Amino acid sequence: MALLVIAEHANSELKAATLNVVTAAKEIGGEIHVLVAGSNAKPAAEAAAKVAGVSKVLLADAPIYEHRLAEDLAALVVKLAPGYSHVLAPATTSGKNFLPRVAALLDVAQISDISAVVSPDTFVRPIYAGNALATVQSKDATKIITVRGTGFAAADATGGSAGIETIEAAPSSGLSTFVSQELSKSERPELTSARVIISGGRGMQNGENFKLLEEVADKLGAAVGASRAAVDAGFVPNDYQVGQTGKIVAPELYVAVGISGAIQHLAGMKDSKVIVAINKDEEAPIFQIADYGVVGDLFKLVPELSAELDKVK
Amino acid sequence: MKVLVAVKRVVDYNVKIRVKADKTGVETANVKFSMNPFDEIAVEQAVRLKEAGTATEVVVVSIGPAQAQETIRTALAMGADRGIHVQTDAEVQPLAVAKLLKAIVANENPTLVIVGKQAIDDDCSQTGQMLAALLGWSQGTFASKVDLKDGTVAVTREVDGGLETVDLKLPAIVTTDLRLNEPRYASLPNIMKAKKKPIDATTAEALGVDIASRLITLKVEEPAKRQGGKKVGSIAELVDKLKNEARVI
C-alpha cells in the first residue's frame, strides 16, 4: 500500500519541512503520495510534484483549506486514509495540530515526532525532552506519524515528475474560523532549515540587544533564535524559541549567546553539528555540550566576533 | 459555564532523568513528581475565568495512580472547585486518555475543556486534539490568549511563523502554551481549604473505556552523549577553529 504525506505549504510555495517527511516515507518504503490541501495552492502542488521520490500529488483546492484549520483538514485526511498504510506529516505546529485529530477519528494511536525508522511498524521517538529515546511498535492498521525534521535529510526538491490529481474538498465542519495572523517577517532563513543559527538567552538583557546577534547572523547567513527565558521576558517573539516545546533544530553551526543551557533548551538544539557557547558564567551547563566555549562578557565578545568574521570573509 | 481541566502527574521538569539499565523505561523510583507545567497553566486559566465571573465551576480530572490525587489537590489549592480521579496503575496513552475524558465530558457537560499542549514526559502533544475529534468539537491548540465571547471563543495560537487567531464555536477544547499566563503558587490557607474539597474516584471500567495500549514500547535508551566541554581563549581562536578545524564557516 502507498504512503500519504501531508504537505506543509503556504499555498504559493511548498515548505521545506515537507522534504524531510518524504525522506522518512522513503525509509518506510512504498509508493509516496503527497496531499496539498490549500487555497490557490497549485504552485505548492507543482513544487511537490517535482520532489524526488513522489509518485502522485493530490490537490484539494478550496477556500476552507486556505489556513489549514485542524477541523477541516483532519476531515479530508480521514476520508483519504483508508487507501494508505501510513499517513505522515511534519512535527510542526501545523502537523501537531491536525494529525492527532485524524488519528482519533480513525481510532488509532499517533506516533509523535519520530526521529528514525526501524521498520514499517517500528520507530524511534525522543521522550523526556530528548533525554531518552523510545523504540515503539504500532499494531494499528494505519500508522499515523509526525516526523521530526532533524531526524531525516531533506529529499531532493527537484528530479521528480509526479502527476497532480485534483480531489474534492470534504464538507466544512463550520466549527472554527480563521481570524488573523501576525507572522514574523524576516529576510533571514527559517530556523528549522537554517545552516547556521545564532540564539540569545536571558543574558541578552533586552530585545534591543538582539541587534548584536542579527549583525553576526547576517554575516553568516544565519537565522536568529532564542531560549524560552528570552521569549518569556518579551525580548523576541514566540516563533524564535528553540527547545523542547519550541522548535527543534540541528544546523551545521549553533551559536548560543547568553544561554545557560537548561535541559529544555538543550532538547531543541543538541543535535546540531557544531555548538559554540558564549557565556560569562564558566559553570553554565551549555559549556558541557559545546564544541567551542568562550567565557566572557557577550557585549564585548559578540561585537568582536562580528569584526573577526569580516577578516576571514 | 463549567470548565473542565485535565492534569497529569509527571516527573518534575527539574529532574535529570535516568534510563533504566534494563531499557524498559526511565527510573521513577525516588524521583520528584509534580503537575505537568502546561497543565498548571491550564488550571490557572480556568481559575482566572472563574475569578472573572465567566466560569461558574472548575472541575479538575487526573488519570493515574493513587498519587495523582496529590496533583488534583494542587489544582484545588490553586482554586479549582472539585476533582475527579480516574484511578489506574496502567500506562494510559493519549488516545485512551482522550476516551476517558470524553466519558467524563458526557457526565459533566462542560462548555470549555482546557488541557496542556503536551506532557513533558512522553512529549506526545495529542490529547487535546484527540478529545476534540472524539467529541466533534473545535480546538484551539498552543494558546497564548483565550478570549471568551457569547457562543464562541477567540484563541490566539503560537504557530511556527508567529501568532494565529481563530474563532471557535463553543463547546471547545483549548490546549495551553507557555505564554498564556503565569500560574500562581497556592497560598497556605488555600492549601488547607483544598483538603476539604471533594475528589470523586472512578475507574476506566466504570467509565466503560478500554485503555489498552496501542503502541508497544520495545526499549528505551539513552541518546548518544555529546563530546563537549572544550573552551577557547579568544574570539580570534574561535573563528580560526570554526573555519579551519570544524569547517562550518
- Which pLDDT tens digit goes with each residue over B86-110? 999 999 999 999 999 999 999 999 9
pLDDT for the residue numbered A184? 86
Q: What is the torsion angle, in degrees rounded to the nearest 10, for the CA atoms of residue A227, residue A230, residue A232 and residue A235?
A: -140
Nearest to A104 among B122, B130, B165 (CB): B130
Q: Percent of chain B scored above 70 by pLDDT?
A: 100
Average of per-residue pLDDT values in chain A: 97
Q: How does pLDDT run across B145-161, given as a tens digit for each residue?
A: 999 999 999 999 999 99
Q: How does pLDDT run across A180-227, given as a tens digit for each residue?
A: 999 988 899 999 999 999 999 999 999 999 999 999 999 999 999 999
ipTM exceeds 0.90:
yes
Nearest to B169 among A175, A181, A301 (CB): A175
Name the band, by pLDDT with cuts 50, 70 and 90, for residue A312.
Answer: confident
Interacting residues of A283 by C-beta distance below 8 A, sequence separation 6+: none
Chain-centre distance of CA A207, in angstroms?
24
Interacting residues of B30 by C-beta distance below 8 A, sequence separation 6+: none
pTM (predicted TM-score): 0.95
With a cut of 80, say whether residue A313 has pLDDT above it: no
A222: left (phi over 0), alpha (psi -120 to 50) or beta: beta
Residue with cell 511498524: A121
Is residue A135 within 8 Å of A235, Cβ to Cβ? Answer: no
In chain B, the residue whose alpha carbon lies closest to the alpha carbon of A279 is B231
Name the band, by pLDDT with cuts 50, 70 and 90, for residue B11.
Answer: very high
**Cβ neighbours of A226 in B, within 8 Å:** none
Name the band, by pLDDT with cuts 50, 70 and 90, for residue A107.
Answer: very high
pLDDT for the residue numbered A185? 86
With a cut of 80, say whether residue B166 has pLDDT above it: yes
Closest approach of chain B CAs to the CA of A27, in angstroms? Answer: 20
With a cut of 90, say whether residue B227 has pLDDT above it: no
Q: Percent of chain B scored above 90 by pLDDT?
A: 98
In chain B, the residue whose alpha carbon lies closest to the alpha carbon of A103 is B130
With a cut of 80, say whether residue A12 has pLDDT above it: yes
Q: Percent of chain A scored above 90 by pLDDT?
A: 97
Q: How does pLDDT run across A44-97, given as a tens digit for each residue?
A: 999 999 999 999 999 999 999 999 999 999 999 999 999 999 999 999 999 999
**Cβ neighbours of B249 in A, within 8 Å:** 196, 220, 253, 309, 312
Radius of gyration of chain B from its Cα atoms, rounded to whole angstroms: 21
In chain B, the residue whose alpha carbon lies closest to the alpha carbon of A220 is B249
